């Protein structure tokens, strides 16, 4: 009996020690920084003019993955953010695009729209949102579960989806920017019934107007931007009211024709404004100051808006990243002061990258093209007319997916698989289409690597279409200025991943890792369960092993 009591006493002491050690070694604040549309080569291309305390501080004192990729298609904002924080791909988490065709509702839906909730922060409709369409838990959700909801988790971004999806289902709050005539950060009644005082104070500060009151001028003399093509070129989009895409951009003059407060999204100060709000959140919510670990998911959206308009080779993109580097340096200094250098862990990555403007590539004789979706629809109808005597079997074409009308197909005594297989065999001959595959093939065949593996990871049996297509490299379905993303090619998938702070080693790895590896790695650092559908692996070489000793 004495031995039993002794063993029980030792067990209790061990459990107590383990719990205390976990609390002692875990960071007080975990921060995910996601840069919307950041190519990996932005880290290297502009490195000679980055400051010592921004990207370089993270690289020198953190652990950088130089060969990290997305292992899924499509590489869009909502998909990327969901995959980062769930540790899995759309076949599991269910966010298959930003917008997609709902074959049950027979309409196109948006990833975070939810009519069951209302806007908190103004009388508009921009806050009728929630994370309900994401099927799985996130890193932030798992931390909440582990700590019995005693830590806080918050998402922040200019884009609603970039704040909502990372913060997860159990967040204390998610905040995004409502532009137009509003110019304020708002939220949804999913999270709360009224904005906290610190948010109201920030919204009343006039910072948005301050940033829109100055022209967009380059950080350094314009002539020194040698990592970009000439400022005045035909490959870049224009602000409404401009006759050429050149510096300086007269933001005060352009404001009224470019969405008023929404113009803040399209200039580097949109990222600075996001940092300003993030600082206010840390102070207002007292993040990183309790005995529990708090979680903050921050996304920089302006890089994406600017990238779409001007493209990766532009002076505008170069200037945006040089200024973002200063913003990150300022934010790290703020964290040092207000949370403590040894009390936080940061990871930095991107939700996708981007292709060089195809018309620019064409000017260099590099293969690139533009694809016409309407021509694709007409080709599909011609196929179904020829083989099934009907042009009504096509229900929707979007996101390089084809949705067939099951009811009309069966009324003609055919099966959906028959029609899909015929469409695939014929579309292989269509200009612009590199590969096509039926949903049935993705359900019955396992692809271990390459584009088909990425397509399979992005295919959700419940939500996705009946035929999935892959275009040729450097193909866009837009006008000939600016750029986009969405494919499984390296220009869209190769992104930075940097871990920094408490529990992180200093170092570099050139091994291939995938975006879904972030969540299980941070989960392991925190000694919590990974998100419930996580399929990634722990990046052991990035972690300080002593933290578990």
DSSP string of 396-428, one letter each residue: EEETTEEEE-HHHHHHTT--HHHHHHHHHHHHT
Other residues' Cβ atoms within 10 Å of the Cβ of residue 386: 10
CA distances from 70 to 39, 73, 437, 454, 518 (A): 12, 8, 20, 8, 11
pLDDT of 28: 98
For residue 16, count CB atoms less than 10 angstroms from its CB and return exposed for 0-12, middle for 13-18, buried for 19 or more. exposed
The end-to-end CA distance of the chain, in Å, is 32
Looking at residue 67, the DSSP 8-state letter turns out to be E
Tokens at residue 327, please? 């913003």
Where does 369-472 sit in CATH, by number?
3.30.1360.150
Q: How far apart are alpha carbons 487 and 472 in whole angstroms?
A: 9
Number of residues written out for the chain: 549
Q: Phi/psi at 348 (nearest 5 deg)?
A: -125, 130
Residues forming the active site: 77
pLDDT of 24: 58
Three-state secondary structure call for residue 313: coil
Q: How far apart are alpha carbons 525 and 23 in whole angstroms?
A: 12
Q: How far apart are alpha carbons 278 and 284 in whole angstroms?
A: 10
> Taking the chain (549 residues) in consecutive chunks of 10 residues, what is each chunk's mean pLDDT?
42 42 76 98 98 98 98 98 98 98 97 98 97 98 97 98 98 98 98 98 98 98 98 98 98 98 98 98 98 98 98 98 98 98 97 98 97 95 97 97 98 97 93 95 96 98 98 94 98 98 98 98 98 98 73
Tokens at residue 502, please? 């408490």
CA distances from 452 to 77, 236, 369, 439, 456 (A): 21, 32, 21, 12, 6
pLDDT of 546: 59
Residue ranges per domain, the chain?
A: 10-360+489-548, 369-472
Helices (H), 345-399: 358-363, 373-388
For residue 529, count CB atoms less than 10 angstroms from its CB and return exposed for 0-12, middle for 13-18, buried for 19 or more. middle
pLDDT of 266: 98
pLDDT of 292: 97
Task: Tell how far CA 326 is from the center of its chain.
Answer: 21
Where does 10-360+489-548 sit in CATH, by number?
3.40.720.10
Closest CA to 140 of 195, 193, 191: 191
For residue 162, count CB atoms less than 10 angstroms from its CB and return exposed for 0-12, middle for 13-18, buried for 19 or more. buried
CA distances from 27 to 415, 432, 491, 526 (A): 56, 49, 34, 8
Instruction: Kindly report whether the global pTM for this prediction surpasses the value 0.85.
Output: yes
Q: Dmax of the chain from CA atoms?
A: 89
């Amino acid at each position: 009996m004495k031995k039993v009591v002794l063993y029980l006493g030792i067990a209790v002491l061990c459990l107590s020690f383990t719990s205390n050690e976990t609390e002692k070694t875990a960071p007080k604040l975990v921060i995910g920084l996601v840069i919307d549309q950041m190519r990996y080569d932005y880290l290297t291309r502009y490195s000679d003019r980055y400051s010592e305390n921004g990207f370089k501080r993270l690289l020198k004192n953190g652990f950088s993955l130089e060969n990290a990729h997305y292992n899924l298609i499509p590489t869009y904002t909502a998909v990327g953010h969901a995959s980062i924080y769930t540790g899995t791909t759309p076949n599991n988490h269910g966010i298959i695009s930003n917008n997609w065709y709902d074959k049950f509702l027979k309409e196109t839906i948006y990833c975070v729209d939810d009519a069951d909730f209302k806007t908190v922060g103004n009388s508009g409709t921009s806050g009728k949102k929630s994370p309900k369409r994401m099927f799985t838990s996130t890193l932030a959700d798992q931390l909440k579960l582990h700590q019995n909801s005693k830590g806080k988790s918050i998402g922040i971004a200019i884009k609603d989806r970039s704040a909502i999806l990372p913060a997860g289902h159990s967040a204390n709050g998610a905040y995004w920017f409502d532009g137009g005539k509003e110019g304020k950060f708002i939220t949804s009644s999913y999270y709360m019934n009224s904005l906290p005082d610190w948010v109201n104070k920030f919204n009343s500060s006039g910072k948005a107007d301050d940033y829109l009151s100055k022209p967009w001028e380059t950080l350094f003399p314009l002539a020194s931007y040698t990592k970009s093509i000439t400022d005045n070129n035909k490959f870049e989009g224009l602000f409404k009211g401009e006759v050429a895409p050149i510096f300086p951009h007269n933001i005060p003059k352009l404001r009224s024709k470019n969405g008023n407060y929404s113009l803040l999204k399209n200039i580097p100060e949109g990222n600075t404004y996001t940092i300003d709000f993030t600082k206010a959140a840390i102070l207002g919510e007292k993040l990183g100051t309790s005995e529990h670990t708090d979680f903050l998911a921050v996304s920089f959206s302006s890089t994406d808006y600017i990238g779409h308009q001007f493209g990766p080779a532009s002076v505008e993109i170069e200037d945006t990243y040089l200024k973002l580097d200063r913003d990150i340096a300022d934010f790290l200094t703020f964290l040092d002061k207000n949370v403590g250098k040894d009390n936080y862990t940061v990871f930095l990555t991107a939700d996708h990258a981007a292709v060089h403007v195809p018309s620019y590539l064409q000017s260099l004789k590099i293969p690139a093209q533009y694809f016409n979706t309407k021509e694709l629809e007409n080709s599909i109808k011609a196929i179904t007319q020829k083989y099934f005597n009907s042009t009504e079997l096509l229900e929707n074409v979007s996101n390089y997916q084809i949705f067939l009308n099951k009811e009309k197909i069966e009324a003609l005594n055919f099966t959906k698989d028959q029609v899909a297989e015929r469409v695939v065999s014929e579309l292989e001959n269509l200009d612009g289409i590199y590969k096509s595959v039926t949903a049935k093939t993705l359900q019955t065949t396992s692809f271990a690597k390459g584009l088909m593996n990425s397509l399979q990871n992005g295919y959700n049996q419940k939500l996705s279409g009946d035929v999935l297509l892959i275009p040729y490299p450097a193909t866009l379905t837009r006008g000939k200025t600016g750029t986009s993303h969405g494919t499984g090619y390296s220009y869209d998938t190769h992104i930075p991943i940097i871990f920094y702070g408490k529990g992180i080693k200093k170092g570099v790895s050139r091994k291939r890792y995938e975006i879904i590896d972030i969540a299980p790695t941070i989960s392991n650092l925190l000694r919590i369960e990974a998100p419930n559908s996580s399929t990634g692996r722990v990046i052991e070489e990035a972690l300080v092993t002593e933290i578990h000793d």
